[in-house]
Structure 1
């Protein structure tokens, strides 16, 4: 039986700053880190470094604002999801817009993680092929079978009842993210030490040499979108905060966890992005562990890709649990007496503990995984998809709603200095998001010119 008696009468929460930090690192240090060398190559040393640092500061600042908005301003009751926080603080149209932005992004991210994991699985197979037949061998393989394998594993993991049961998976995923980031970092340093690094510049890829002027603009915009995606986690921040114990105050603990998570992430991002660019130069691959900038030692490249796969198994759950909860809560409210929705008797599973079977959970979550897997097969565009997801989520979820809720809670007067600078920050980030989205859409259009459905090949 689950214990009850938390500060809002609900299930006892057991989360701490450590588990929250693990959730954040799992959510933030995802597949985005693998594209940072490519992003820096498009922007160059100066703009690339500045962009990384700015996104880090903005994400941290707005996340700190959001941690204070996770309780109803009137009743003080905890909000268990992002859209509930928006509803209680802003209501009306903002609630509907937030729901669309958040859940489209969560579903899109799960599709992106399916694509990324399949590329890493294929990279392991290709790495062994290169080791056997040489670097000139094509060794191309279809990604579709690996997407199916990832989907089958997710069908099992998706039976995890809720966010509160993900602590172990998130801690394991966070360790994996450190693992593959460190391996990538070490390989980049080794490549630089060998004197095999590529050509770099203050402004990135050279117009007239590497790209045309129009390509330079589009690729720079797409790179900004990739960096935005790399820092995205605000869309699950409220859900993570809802796992924390009520004492000490969960907003204070979440601020600590957020600061730790963003600081660690930024350290890895700056290191991987800048050293990755130093290693590969303007020809940095879109994913430096699967684009085969590194071939040897092949077993270490394989290990890094295995870490990525394990990490994304956990990250997928962090991003999909809010979607699962939304649909299941709606079903429970709509048909409270339905036997189909009722959980079965507790089953004791060795090591895993008590589990309650639910037919709704089995059917609905399995269907969700199947749909996202099929979508991944239809749209296998790694960098362009990451950039578009980052651009679409960054402004509304990371900037706009946290700022507007902060203004509403503190009743900051319109046109006051504080109000003005917050709104200017929001507008600037909106412009950046729109430009980044345009760059990513242009990249997707380019892919579609030669695209064949269900024919993703690594």
Structure 2
């Protein structure tokens, strides 16, 4: 399988890619260019990855769960993510040899052997690709919402202001083709910082609008248990929606599938695992606060009829210019988030191609377009062809299946248990040589089992949602 990359092979590829580099360039202990990442760039990457489209569905998720179960679920997923991210941070370097693991699959291979890497690779890369589809959908919905808000402002809230998502997905995809030509995460730290600022901006706008709605007194009905059976939903819909809400919350909290790749951008000293743990604490703490504000205040403002997307579901109509700013911020943020999740996928295929045809130098050589010291731009033929094809495929899939709530829930359910819980815990047990029958071994595996049950329930609910959406959907004719 193409995604199974050993750390030695990746180092070999890195050396090949840097044969044209200046001889005076500083190198790290693995022969790669000196890493320059810091606590703050790592935190920016994490915030960019975590505060994404998932935050927009939290008001809806809280509405399905209610005032007690909703916040508890949000805190539970955040704490689990923080706990396992600290375990995963220790897997970047082999505890015995000290060799680096450049990606999640390499860490699993180094700590658990070659058998489990197949499952890990499948889960990780399917989820990364699925997240790219989800972000393309979300960006197009937000872009379309800008056009709709102007229509509603001019013609009234009852006007027919339907807008096709397709053209916005194509524009977003074209932008990603350009951004994808940056070689790796280290080269787009500036984009992650910008995206992180945008995520704070639209989250803050959502919170402010929710507060204004609450103060005005024009709020929806809220309950301890969320949506009411027989009033808001049927009993069957209640069960499916609860499962789906858990998947949405899990998706909103997950970033483990890119943690190792983010850690690989950090300079050393200080030790990469220590910096990454601090970055995880900072980022998860910040995002949890924002999530609680967006989810709870959004539910308080809209009640049990909270829209699936707080800023594009038009629970808010005015001030239209502020809603426009929020949706533009979402689009800019997702430009960066898309890259954070896709760079690992890009690297795997390029490594495979370069290794297989290593005698064809044009595949690995870099052509310099601009030689500016602060912002050099290079082009590689393998990168140009592969990444363009990838973005086109992802954009096509988004056009075919633009179901926001269902896709977010399924991706969260699919990735949460294996990537956020199971593998970090199993690698921790392997590294620390914890006996399975010991108290600590039983406790962490019990936690893993409970998370598995939650993921299964969320996956079932999300699949049911996709099936229902497919039943009433006409490809290429979706209107917002």
TM value normalised by structure 2: 0.94
**Contact 2:367-2:380 at 8 Å conserved across structures:** no
**Is residue 255 from structure 1 mapped to residue 277 from structure 2 by the alignment?**
yes
Equivalent of residue 79 in structure 2, options 46, 50, 57 = 57
* CA displacement at 1:339 relative to structure 2: 3.5
Aligned to 2:318, what secondary structure does the other structure show?
coil
Aligned in 2, Cα 1:136/1:21: closer, same or farther, shift over 3 Å?
A: same
Equivalent of residue 312 in structure 1, options 296, 314, 334 = 334
**Is residue 375 from structure 1 mapped to residue 400 from structure 2 by the alignment?**
no
**Is residue 437 from structure 1 mapped to residue 450 from structure 2 by the alignment?**
no
The answer for the alignment partner of 1:176 in structure 2 is 198
Aligned to 1:166, what secondary structure does the other structure show?
helix
**Residues 114-123 or 67-76, more deviating:** 67-76
Equivalent of residue 31 in structure 1, options 27, 33, 53 = 53
The answer for the alignment partner of 2:351 in structure 1 is 329
1:185-196 matches, within 5 Å, as 185-196=207-218
**Is residue 215 from structure 1 mapped to residue 250 from structure 2 by the alignment?**
no
Equivalent of residue 317 in structure 2, options 295, 306, 319 = 295
* CA displacement at 1:351 relative to structure 2: 8.3
* CA displacement at 1:266 relative to structure 2: 0.0
* CA displacement at 1:93 relative to structure 2: 1.8
Aligned in 2, Cα 1:349/1:179: closer, same or farther, shift over 3 Å?
A: farther
The answer for the alignment partner of 2:289 in structure 1 is 267
**Contact 2:169-2:399 at 8 Å conserved across structures:** yes
1:31-430 matches, within 5 Å, as 31-348=53-370, 353-430=375-452
The alignment yields a C-alpha RMSD, in angstroms, of: 1.1
Q: What is the rounded CA distance, in whole Å, between the counterparts of 1:349 and 1:149 in structure 2?
A: 29
* CA displacement at 1:343 relative to structure 2: 2.1
* CA displacement at 1:307 relative to structure 2: 0.2
* CA displacement at 1:92 relative to structure 2: 2.0
Q: What is the rounded CA distance, in whole Å, between the counterparts of 1:42 and 1:56 in structure 2?
A: 19
Superposed CA deviations along residues 278-334 of structure 1, whole A, max 9, x for unmatched, are 000000000010000000000000000000000000000000000000000111111
Superposed CA deviations along residues 326-363 of structure 1, whole A, max 9, x for unmatched, are 00011111111114413234332568622221111111
**Is residue 454 from structure 1 mapped to residue 476 from structure 2 by the alignment?**
yes
Q: What is the rounded CA distance, in whole Å, between the counterparts of 1:451 and 1:171 in structure 2?
A: 37
**Contact 1:30-1:312 at 8 Å conserved across structures:** yes
Q: What is the rounded CA distance, in whole Å, between the counterparts of 2:211 and 2:464 in structure 1?
A: 33
Aligned to 1:356, what secondary structure does the other structure show?
strand
* CA displacement at 1:126 relative to structure 2: 0.3
Q: What is the rounded CA distance, in whole Å, between the counterparts of 2:371 and 2:204 in structure 1?
A: 35
Superposed CA deviations along residues 255-285 of structure 1, whole A, max 9, x for unmatched, are 0000000000000000000000000000000
TM value normalised by structure 1: 0.99
- Number of residue pairs the alignment of both structures matches: 458
The answer for the alignment partner of 2:14 in structure 1 is none
Structure 1, unpaired ranges of 5+: none
Aligned in 2, Cα 1:147/1:133: closer, same or farther, shift over 3 Å?
A: same
Q: What is the rounded CA distance, in whole Å, between the counterparts of 1:344 and 1:270 in structure 2?
A: 46
Superposed CA deviations along residues 398-457 of structure 1, whole A, max 9, x for unmatched, are 000000000000000121000000000001001100000000001111101111112221
* CA displacement at 1:166 relative to structure 2: 1.5
